[in-house]
Amino acid sequence: MTAEPDFHDLARGDEFLLPSFSFDASSIRAYLDATGEPVERWDGVVPPIAAGALALGALMERVPLPGGALHAGQEFEFLRAIAPGESLETLVRVAQRSERRGTLLLALEVELRSSSDGETVLRGRSTVAAPAGEAAS
């Protein structure tokens, strides 16, 4: 079994794939109910922010954030609509890594691609600040 990456061990240029996922009608409805978005606005498509949120959630499951971490910024670029049931792959790249005054700053690029043809449907960048420290053994 491969060890999961530790937040403190990530280096600029590291990249990894997260497990594929898709949205079914019930997961779309759960998202819309949680956010208060009107269901009819998103008939036949996945709400774009739902896809971004799920990708970031999967990233945090794969690379748990250390105590004291702060989500310092988020950008998304939505390139096309995502259909319910469409299988998506998530590629994550460490775009930047720096340490300043005991704080580790990581900029992570996220790209969602259609599993069927590899077309990129979403690009994002998330910046996380956390206390610098050593990786767990």
Nearest to 31 by CA among 59, 60, 53: 53
What pLDDT, on the 0 to 100 scale, is given for residue 2? 53
CA distances from 43 to 25, 85, 113 (A): 10, 13, 21
3-state DSSP call for residue 79?
Answer: coil
Q: Is 13 left (phi over 0), alpha (psi -120 to 50) or beta?
A: left
The predicted structure's pLDDT at residue 17: 92
Please identify every stretch of the chain with a pLDDT value under 70, giving residue numbers as ranges: 1-3, 134-137
User: What are the strands of the beta sheet with 103-114, ordered from one edge?
Assistant: 15-21, 88-100, 103-114, 120-131, 70-78
SS3 77: strand
- pLDDT tens, 31-42? 999 999 988 899
Cα 59 to Cα 47, 79, 96: the distances in Å are: 19, 20, 16
Token digits for 73? 């910024």
